Amino acid sequence: MGLSEEQKEFQKVAFNFAAREMAPHMAEWDQKELFPVDTMRKAAQLGFGGVYVQTDVGGAGLSRLDTSVIFEALATGCTSTTAYMSIHNMCVWIIDRFGSEEQRHRLCPPLCAMEKFASYCLTEPGSGSDAASLMTSAVRQHDHYILNGSKAFISGGGEADIYVVMCRTGGPGPRGISCVVVEKGTPGLSFGKKEKKVGWNSQPTRAVIFEDCAVPVANRIGDEGQGFLIAMKGLNGGRINVASCSLGAAHASIVLARDYLKVRKQFGEPLANSQYLQFQLAEMAARLVASRLMIRTAATALQEEREDAIVLCSMAKLFATDECFAICNQALQMHGGYGYLKDYAVQQYVRDSRVHQILEGSNEVMRMLISRSLLQE
């Protein structure tokens, strides 16, 4: 609803790719914990490796709304893989938006083609929601920064080629944080064990560790002290992206529940004949559309750089990830005992969408940002 013909075409291409290249392999990627590099590179050929990155460095140059439409559609095929692609896109956008011309033209083209993969490194063992208290240090020595510290819960950790790292080059607080790119293979860069997770199993998650890791000053993105601003601007879009992935999971779960209700018989008739279940399905569909409209409103505000964009992104992320997880969970419930079996895809949408309420700023932090905005009026 409300999409241009061009946007409907993007959506169709993404839905078709999800159905043909992702959905048939979703369970295998989850159960075997496979990182589907080849599939993501196929997606990149369609422009999905740098959706909202400028065209002169290999991006598709699309809007935030276009991006939301695409990620929702892709997430119906595999929410976990699409969520990683959304993080990768955020990293490429950071380099495109804040990097020098040399950095943009050196780093972005292979990332947009997904010849190389990127990871976003903000969270630390001791600083999650309180990101401004991060401790990873970057001490300048001549033309290098010497990094020491560690990052936690890094999607793509160990597999990615480019790490967009927020580190402390100055004093305490947000103004002491800078952003640097660390390339895989840099001496002093290492990784923790692969984490065992409830969901998001098609993407590896590891700690990223820096021990006297020398990074050229030329790899700094933006100015010294600009890192926290860069991180937050990246996350504004990241919140829209991950919420869009929740839309895709909920969308797919409603379809699965609808189809199951039509074929499953109890008490001599299909479950679809139960008015109670009909009403539940109707509420699920209404909550999905409400979530989608909130996300698309926030995406448009972010694209237009409106003053209310940050709070709208926070509201959309809070509302949509909560509602969409509830939709997935209700779809599982409608499947009864079968929904709890890994033979049925609905349980994977539940597991993969649950973490969306935690990352890119937990939903408790979203509530805090929204309330602060209201109280400052």
Tell me which of 3.10.150.10, 1.10.540.10, 3.40.50.300, 1.20.1740.10 is the CATH number of domain 5-116.
Answer: 1.10.540.10
Q: What is the pLDDT of residues 126-138, one digit of tens each?
A: 998 899 999 999 9
Q: Percentage of residues in the chain with pLDDT exceeding 90?
A: 98
Active-site position among 21, 72, 124, 360: 360
Name the CATH topology of 228-376.
Butyryl-CoA Dehydrogenase, subunit A; domain 3 (1.20.140)
Domain 119-224: which CATH class?
Answer: mainly beta
Contact 67, 240 (CB under 8 A): yes
* Residues 250-273 pLDDT 10s: 999 999 999 999 999 999 999 999
pLDDT at 239 over 80: yes
Q: Nearest-CA neighbor of 164 among 97, 245, 247?
A: 97
pTM tops 0.85, yes or no: yes
Q: Is the pLDDT of residue 278 over 80?
A: yes
How far apart CA 223 and CA 98 sit, in angstroms, is 9
How many residues are present in the chain? Answer: 377
Q: Given the DSSP bridges, would you call strands 162-168 and 118-121 parallel, antiparallel or unpaired?
A: parallel
Three-state SS string across 161-218, please? CEEEEEEECCCCCHHHEEEEEEECCCCCEEECCCCCCCCCCCCCEEEEEEEEEEEEHH
How far apart are alpha carbons 137 and 133 in whole angstroms? Answer: 11
pLDDT exceeds 80 at position 332: yes
Q: Is the pLDDT of residue 161 over 80?
A: yes
Region 31-47: mean pLDDT is 98
Residue 32 region by backbone torsions, left for phi larger than 0, else alpha for psi between -120 and 50, else beta? alpha
The single-letter code of the amino acid at 304 is: E
CB–CB of 113/41 below 8 Å?
Answer: yes
Contact 365, 232 (CB under 8 A): no
Mean pLDDT over residues 30-51, rounded? 98
- Mean pLDDT, rounded, for 347-366: 97
Nearest 10 degrees: CA dihedral of 80, 283, 310, 68?
Answer: 50
pLDDT at 224 over 80: yes
- pLDDT given for residue 247 in this prediction: 98
pLDDT digits (tens, 9 = 90+) for 86-134: 999 999 999 999 999 999 999 999 999 999 999 999 999 999 889 999 9
Query: What's residue 72's pLDDT?
Result: 98
Q: In angstroms, rounded to a whole number, what is the distance separating the alpha carbons of residues 272 and 258?
A: 8
Summary mean pLDDT of the chain: 97
pLDDT at 2: 84
pLDDT digits (tens, 9 = 90+) for 134-158: 999 999 999 999 999 999 999 999 9
Task: Check residue 376 and give its pLDDT.
Answer: 87
Asked if 360 is an active-site residue, the reply is yes
- The string of DSSP letters for 280-319 reads HHHHHHHHHHHHHHHHHHHHHHHHTT-TTHHHHHHHHHHH
* pLDDT at residue 128 in the model: 87
pLDDT band at 274 (very low <50, low <70, confident <90, very high): very high
Instruction: Indicate the residue type of 224.
Output: E
What does each C-alpha distance from 116 to 39, 134, 145, 205 come to in angstroms? Answer: 13, 27, 23, 17
Check if 119-224 and 228-376 are the same fold.
no
Domain layout of the chain by residue ranges: 5-116, 119-224, 228-376
